[in-house]
Amino acid sequence: MPAGCGANNGTAWSAISDGLTVLDVGALAIDPSTPTILYAGTEGGGVCRTTDGGTTWNAVNSGLDGQDINSFAIDPSTPTTLYTATEDGGVFRTTNGGATWSAFSSGLTDLRVRALAIDLSSPITLYAGTQRGAFRTTLSETTWSALNGLANLSVLALVIDPSNSTTLYAGTRFSGIFRSTDGGTTWSAINGGLGSLRISALAVDPSTPTILYAGTEDGGVFRTTDSGTTWSAFNLGLANPIVLALEIDATTSTTVYTGTARGGVFRLSADSDSDGIGDVSESAIGTDPTDEDTDDDGLFDGAEDLDADGIVDVGETDPLDPDTDADLLCDDTRADNDGDGIAPVSLCGASELVAESDPQDFDSDEDGLPDGAEVLIHLTSPLVADTDADGADDPNDNCGIVSNPSQLDTDADLYGNLCDCDFDGDDACSIADFNIFLPDFFATSDGGSGTDMDGDGSVGIGDFNLFLPGFQAGAPGPSGLVP
């Protein structure tokens, strides 16, 4: 098994966003009595509901004052009763499955409500996380009061331990995750192993409450199996690291849903062969959920197409189609209808920007770069030479090595002058190089230092515009790309 491919313990994510007109999904809720009914809170599109497990979605927004939805809390004893948190309008409640909504914000001093959690103890208690701390109310009181301990923090996520309602977890924007074991009176940080402290979502496994999932704004999903003492990344197959929402199926706790920014909804489910493609997705595309290398070509199925959408992430294209010449382009290509010797884009996946014309030819343009490596790694064409292998085909190469006759390399460091911002020869573009460039810029002459990057005999704004990308990237080459 390739290194790192089994890190998710037999599970993988797949998209289920058909019908969603807004893909910024910041909140999710599952009907505990009917798991095919889900609610998705969007940024700008209000609340959407599906009754078929995500195949189709419909808006349910009557009475909502705000269209940016941050969180849901659903009453498991009466699943048609939900509460939703909006960005600027406070909390709203529905008692008919989203058909109509009414305000439920009395006592809130901050209407930018980011998180909700419901405690089914007697009396039923609601918790709300806001831009300025956390609040609590009971259904008998219907008025919110502030909690101590999180007053100066932006609370984006709240969950309650289903086996002990006095244990709460709070996710904050810049300070990570906090836990309370006394119903919210006191809190302590639990951030061991978290790769990001920008916590946007939390979910606790209803069958094993020591297992929690944390969604972050820049690091994907993290999981803990010890109530938050230690965390580890959990992202195999998740194409978007900006996670806004998490929800666990109450009847099948190994099924987890996540809402992402501009990426829609993903589902975490069983992956029997640990190849990075969930069993459901493998069955849908015709691969074997128990075989990690369906076409026996030595390439791991999960590395071929992690989300089973026909677009390659790493490696070759279609796990059902061998790659005869092992150049990372699958053999299956469409007919060459125009007779120019170049087949159109392969049926195997949209990520093949240019398909090869002969599946038996390892290096079509004989430039020393395998065809597949050109398409998938260098983003060059396997039919047009890239003499210096710097990621730009020769006709478009403004930053090639000295062998390119259209590009000078005054200091013979293998970077053409037009993109060589390394004036002091330390193989980096830093403030030291800027200090060399600046005097020449004011003097409008390089004096042999190489700051005349465009070769027009003077140092001016044109040279500064050539210098800046490499300086920002910290390395010579086009935007820091090293040949």
Over the stretch 149-170, which tens digit does the pLDDT of each residue have? Answer: 888 889 999 999 989 999 999 9
Q: Residue 385: pLDDT band by 50, 70, 90 thresholds?
A: low
User: How many whole angstroms separate alpha carbon 425 and alpha carbon 438?
Assistant: 17
Q: What is the pLDDT of residue 262?
A: 73
Structure confidence at residue 381 (pLDDT): 55
Range list for CATH 2.130.10.10 in the chain: 11-270
DSSP states of 177-238: EEEESSTTSS-EE--TT-S-S-EEEEEE-SSSTT-EEEEESSS-EEEESSTTSS-EE--TT-
The answer to whether residue 344 scores a pLDDT higher than 60 is: no
Give the residue from 264, 289, 287 showing the smallest Cα distance to 274.
Answer: 289
Q: How many residues does the chain have?
A: 483
Other Cβ atoms within 10 Å of 358 Cβ, number: 14
Phi, psi of 431 (to 5 degrees): -65, -30
DSSP structure string for 338-400:
T-SS---S-TT-TT-SS--S-TT-S-TT-SSS-HHHIIIII---TTS--TT-SSS-GGG-SS-
pLDDT of residue 336: 39
- Axis crossing angle, helix 461-473 with helix 431-443, rounded to the nearest 10: 180
| pLDDT at position 45 | 86
The average pLDDT across 126-138 equals 89
Q: In terms of CATH architecture, what is 11-270?
A: 7 Propeller (2.130)
Q: What is the pLDDT of residue 376?
A: 44
- CA 159/CA 118 separation, integer angstroms: 8
Separation of alpha carbons 141 and 214, rounded Å: 31
Min mean pLDDT across 51-55, 436-440, 463-467 is at 463-467
Q: Which residue has the higher pLDDT, 412 or 95?
A: 95
Query: Per the structure block, which two tokens stand in for 233?
Result: 């990344």
Lowest-confidence pick of 270-279, 334-343, 422-431, 456-465: 334-343
In the chain, list all ranges with CATH 1.10.1330.10. 407-480
pLDDT bracket for residue 311 (50, 70, 90): very low
407-480: what fold?
Answer: Type 1 dockerin domain (1.10.1330)
Residue 4: how many CB atoms within 10 A of its CB? 11
**Overall average pLDDT of the 331-357 stretch:** 39
User: Taking all residues of the chain, what is their mean pLDDT, rounded to a whole number?
Assistant: 73
Does the pLDDT of residue 195 top 50, yes or no?
A: yes
Nearest Cα to Cα of residue 36 among 21, 26, 20, 49: 49
* Region 183-209 average pLDDT: 90
